[in-house]
Amino acid sequence: MYNIINFNEEELKKWMKENGEQPFRSKQVINWIYKGITSFDEMKNVSSKTQENLANNFYIGTPTIVRKLVSTIDGTIKYLMKLHDGNIIECVLMKYKHGNSICISSQVGCRMGCTFCASTIGGRVRNLDSGEMLGQIIAVSKDINERISNVVMMGSGEPLDNYDNVLKFLEEVGKEYGLNIGARHITLSTCGIVPEILELSEKGLQITLAISLHASNDEIRKKSMPIANKYTIKEVIEACKQYICKTKRRVTFEYALIEGLNDEKEHAEELATLLKGMLCHVNLIPINEVKESGYKKPDKKRIDSFKSILEKNKIETTVRREMGADINAACGQLRRDYVNE
Ligand SMILES: C[S@@+](CC[C@H](N)C(=O)[O-])C[C@H]1O[C@@H](n2cnc3c(N)ncnc32)[C@H](O)[C@@H]1O
Ligand code: SF4
């Protein structure tokens, strides 16, 4: 059995032809799938014989919403979703003036082991296929009955540790007959897997690349991000420069501020030196406190002072606005609580 959302129009057309179905029906089938149907017999304009043939060979891999928390502060919605095999993932909808933005997962869990991140506590269970990533957007769009215009790959999982499926997802998410979300409205966030950043840059996609840097030198980075033992900050930055050169896109560096670890003035100066002259932007994230890590966010004065040092060095810097503060939207925590129950 295959997840039908993994098949694009061409692929489904080919399958229909080879399996005694009229190829032009593939368009109708795909339209239904993108409407968020959960069973083939909901496809009203498709014969019951075709419905049966599809049901015998495919399943619809749109995740099912099993829990939903809505923030009364800003309307952010945190979803827990069940996949076809029973695995649970998280995804978050954020409502902005410029449209709806969704944060999707790319893996069940993660094997990267960052000490501040709840997604990695149980390790990586499995990769999501491209249809399961598209399926999160389809399910949420159906739930709110509105179009989703922006996607950030910042839910659980390391997208570049699931490169082939993520690449297929990036190709499919922009299709006009499907979700029609252009590359410029997509952000891929990575802990910095250098060979895949280089490979991605060769594709010349217009997506925004976000790097979870979180430290101004390798010594500090190694304390919270095991990937730092494999690739140095210098190598990550060189790969980003290559990405900028090939795509002409501005790269975002995410820097989670952790009290007493990476929030000193000299860390801001060191970061400014690393990034000087690059086509980039820094997003400072006051760390979301996760029980297991014991990390705390610095106070506002310290965050502002870190920001002003970067700005003095002409590095565009923002502080991430906290969304859904009342629903504990910290990455991976909701799933972990649900699984523990
Ligand atoms: C969950 S990760 C998923 C994407 C990718 N694996 C990565 O690390 O960039 C998305 C972002 O959330 C950040 N993050 C994880 N745990 C966090 C926490 N407790 N507080 C603030 N940011 C966190 C990550 O560092 C990363 O920048
Ligand atoms: S921050 Fe990203 S790479 Fe690190 S453990 Fe979490 S999901 Fe994985």
DSSP string, 290-311: -TTT---PPPHHHHHHHHHHHH
Domains of the chain: 2-59 (1.10.150.530), 64-340 (3.20.20.70)
Give residues (CB < 6 A) around ligand 1.
116-117, 119, 154, 158, 189-191, 212, 254, 256, 285, 287-288, 290, 330-331
Residue 256: beta bridge partners? 285
Atom of ligand 2 nearest to the CA of 191: 3
User: Can you list the residues of the chain whose pLDDT is less than 70?
Assistant: 328-333, 336
Quick check: is 292 catalytic? Answer: no
**Residue 212 beta carbon below 6 angstroms from any ligand 2 atom:** yes
pLDDT of residue 78: 94
In this structure, what token pair is assigned to residue 8?
């694009």
User: Could you say which ligand is closest to the alpha carbon of residue 90?
Assistant: 1
Axis crossing angle, helix 163-172 with helix 130-144, rounded to the nearest 10: 50
| 98 carries a ligand binding annotation | no
| 212 carries a ligand binding annotation | yes
Q: Kindly provide the ipTM of the predicted complex, given to two decimals.
A: 0.99
Distances 268 to 29, 276, 277, 305, 340 between C-alpha atoms, Å: 53, 12, 15, 9, 39
Atom 26, ligand 1: residue with shortest CA distance = 212
Atom 7, ligand 2: residue with shortest CA distance = 157
| 114 carries a ligand binding annotation | yes
| 48 carries a ligand binding annotation | no
What is the C-alpha to C-alpha distance for residues 183 and 206, in angstroms, rounded to an integer? 5
| 288 carries a ligand binding annotation | yes
Instruction: Please name the helix (run of DSSP H) or strand (run of DSSP E) that holds residue 91, with its range, or none.
Output: strand 88-96
Q: How far is the CA of 290 from the centre of ligand 1 (A)?
A: 12
Computed on alpha carbons and rounded to an integer, the radius of gyration of the chain in Å comes to 21
| Count of Cβ atoms closer than 10 Å to residue 300 Cβ | 10
In this structure, what token pair is assigned to residue 158?
């390391």
Residue 254: beta bridge partners? 212, 283
The predicted model scores a pTM of: 0.96
pLDDT of residue 332: 63
Tell which one of 285, 290, 295 to mutate to probe ligand 1, the residue whose CB is within 8 A of the most ligand atoms. 285
Check 21, 42, 90, 292 and give the catalytic one: 90
pLDDT of residue 321: 81
The DSSP line for 24-76 is: THHHHHHHHHHHT-SSGGG-TTS-HHHHHHHHHHEE--PPEEEEEEE-TTT--
Mean pLDDT of the chain: 94
User: Could you say which ligand is closest to the alpha carbon of residue 328?
Assistant: 1
Tell which one of 102, 103, 116, 117 to mutate to probe ligand 1, the residue whose CB is within 8 A of the most ligand atoms. 117
pLDDT of residue 333: 66
Atom of ligand 1 nearest to the CA of 293: 19
Q: How far is the CA of 246 from the centre of ligand 2 (A)?
A: 26
What is the C-alpha to C-alpha distance for residues 206 and 247, in angstroms, rounded to an integer? 6
Quick check: is 331 catalytic? Answer: yes
pLDDT in tens, 240-278: 999 999 999 999 999 999 999 999 999 999 999 999 999
pLDDT of residue 328: 67
What is the C-alpha to C-alpha distance for residues 65 and 141, in angstroms, rounded to an integer? 12
